[in-house]
């Protein structure tokens, strides 16, 4: 486990398509499908509490959120699911 505050490796993946005209809806749908496929492919090598977050058009981040943010997300999800 890396030391707290240590910089972890960063990997970026790009998917480019040419010679096709896509609607905005198609671009969004394909972007999400590529992100889902990437998250699935990374499932075995990313931490169990890693999440995927859209950070821009056709740009996604996957990793561990800050501990406080993760706790807030859990509380929000629990409340949304009808928990206490």
DSSP code of 3? P
> Residue 1: what pLDDT?
46
What are the respective helix, strand and coil percentages of the chain, to the nearest 5? 40, 15, 50
Q: How far apart are CA 30 and CA 24, in angstroms?
A: 10
Instruction: Convert the pLDDT of each residue in 51-82 to its tens digit.
Output: 888 888 878 888 888 889 988 988 999 999 99
Q: How far apart are CA 8 and CA 5, in angstroms?
A: 9
> Residue 18: what pLDDT?
93
Interacting residues of 27 by C-beta distance below 8 A, sequence separation 6+: 57, 58
Instruction: Convert the pLDDT of each residue in 29-48 to its tens digit.
Output: 998 898 889 888 988 888 88
């Amino acid at each position: 486990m890396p030391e707290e505050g240590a910089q972890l490796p960063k990997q970026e993946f790009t998917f480019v398509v040419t010679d096709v005209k896509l609607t905005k809806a198609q671009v969004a749908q394909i972007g999400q499908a590529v992100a889902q496929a990437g998250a699935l492919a990374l499932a075995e090598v990313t931490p169990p509490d890693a999440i995927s977050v859209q950070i821009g058009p056709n740009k996604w981040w996957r990793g561990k959120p800050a501990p406080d943010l993760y706790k807030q997300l859990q509380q929000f999800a629990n409340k949304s699911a009808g928990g206490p």
